[in-house]
Amino acid sequence: MNMENKIRRVVVTGIGAVTPLALSAEETWKAMLEGKNGIAPITLFDTTDYKAKLAAEVKGFEPRNYMEKAEIVKTDRYSLFGIAAAQEAVDDSAILGKIDPDRLAVYFGSGIGGITAFGSEHEKLLARGPKRVSPYFVPMMIANMAAGMIAIRFNARNAALPAVTACASGTNAIGEAIRAIRHGYCDAAITGGCEAAITPIGVAGFVNMQALSVSEDPDAASLPFDKRRAGFVIGEGGAALILEEYEHAKARGARIYAEAVGYGSTCDAHHITAPDPEAGGASRAMKQALDEAGYTADDVVYVNAHGTGTPLNDKSETKAVKLALGDKAKDAYISSTKSMTGHMLGAAGAIEAIVCVKALSEGIIPPTINLTEPDPECDLNYCPNKAVKADITLAVSNSLGFGGHNACAAFRKL
């Protein structure tokens, strides 16, 4: 290991995703540019007694495309999404066989973990007693298992760590991977996040905390930065990036999408679920990432907002952007792709990092759809309804989680 304490550069060499819009990163990106909406009535369970009727479900996912039947029966839906996304990213990067397994890490987040298994096995416990709880229950449920299974699948023998910071999990995982590569602890990482919490108990919990939109109109439910916004729409899926030390990527002739140039990680230390109304923690996370990225007033910035569509988040996040960018906030391009994907919770930061990377490499920014009634308290440029061509130089992804976790990852063109 290089002991000069030199900071190493980190680049993105692979992407993969399973989202409510499509079953690959590229198809998801195309759908976003077209402003497609992934939200529809919930089909995963009967919502008769539920106030919230909509979700952004992954559609047409076939686990058999990724693993054997015997493995599927002991894998929770959240891990399936993570593994599928990781498989695509690993294939895309062509890194396997080109890296020492001891130098390949996994940093993969989930907000909740295997709540599908939790629900179904708890039903068995109540209906048939403790003898009938599956021996796979614990490994299916625990929130580190996606990271563990990804490490097994790709023989990644460096650190394998989950980030469990609610809706910031994906971005925290990516940020921690950036740091680990920068400081020489590994040479590459499979990183991202996955989530599958559209279950009876999951949705009931989010509804009762008044976090979800109860709209029944898919085109007027996930409404980031719109005056009508009244909660998020729960989504699901997985997204993965291969981060790699620059010289390592260059030496093997890898395709490089972008450079990962900054990470900020803070806590509000304020309230378990409500964001700090002064946006102190979120703005500090953004500032940390911007500082590391070498941000200057000449940069043309894209912010992929956390933008959940809850009344409090979008207002305080707007404040955070203003605190972080000052006078330049009004010039920044901002969008919330959650208007199309719903809130993929622990996978959100990962798909949104991919959006940043693609926006940089293609010079186009996906829109915030269904933004038709501006809110005076959200008065920046949120790229409403249509993708915008823009030669951005710096893209940052914000993720803010219950617990007061704030994470921000920054990317530049190489």
**Catalytic residue list:** 167, 306, 343
Cα dist from 368 to 34, 226, 232, 305, whole Å: 11, 10, 14, 10
Other beta carbons less than 10 A from residue 226's beta carbon: 23
Window of 133-141, 240-248, 263-271, 349-357 that interacts with another protein by CB under 8 A: 133-141
Q: With respect to another protein, which residue has the nearer C-beta, 9 or 153?
A: 153
Number of residues that bind another protein (CB under 8 A): 11
Q: What is the DSSP string of 256-311?
A: --EEEEEEEEEE--S-SSSPPTT-HHHHHHHHHHHHHTT--TT--EEEE------H
Q: x/- contact string, 135-174, with another protein (CB under 8 A)?
A: xx--x-----------------------------------
**Least CB distance from residue 158 to another protein, whole Å?**
25
Distance (Å, rounded) from C-alpha 301 to C-alpha 383? Answer: 13
Window of 127-135, 188-196, 309-317, 400-408 that interacts with another protein by CB under 8 A: 127-135
Window of 52-60, 68-76, 274-282, 351-359 that interacts with another protein by CB under 8 A: 68-76
Specify the residue for token string 């308290």: 377
Distance (Å, rounded) from C-alpha 232 to C-alpha 273? Answer: 14
Four-CA torsion 171, 187, 291, 299, nearest 10 degrees: -90
Q: With respect to another protein, which residue has the nearer C-beta, 139 or 218?
A: 139
**Least CB distance from residue 226 to another protein, whole Å?**
48
Distance (Å, rounded) from C-alpha 290 to C-alpha 288? Answer: 6
70 binds another protein (CB under 8 A): yes
129 binds another protein (CB under 8 A): no
Work out which of 47, 134, 361, 393 binds another protein, going by CB under 8 A: 134
74 binds another protein (CB under 8 A): yes
Q: With respect to another protein, which residue has the nearer C-beta, 97 or 135?
A: 135
In 230-264, which positions are buried (b, 16+ CB within 10 angstroms) versus exposed (e)?
bbbbbbbbbbbbbbbbbebbeeeebebbbbbbbbb
Q: What is the DSSP string of 115-140?
A: HHHHHHHHHHHHHH-GGGS-TTHHHH
**Least CB distance from residue 70 to another protein, whole Å?**
5
Work out which of 4, 62, 65, 69 binds another protein, going by CB under 8 A: 69
Q: x/- contact string, 15-54, with another protein (CB under 8 A)?
A: ----------------------------------------
DSSP annotation of 184 reads T
Chain positions contacting another protein, by CB under 8 A: 68-70, 73-74, 131-132, 134-136, 139
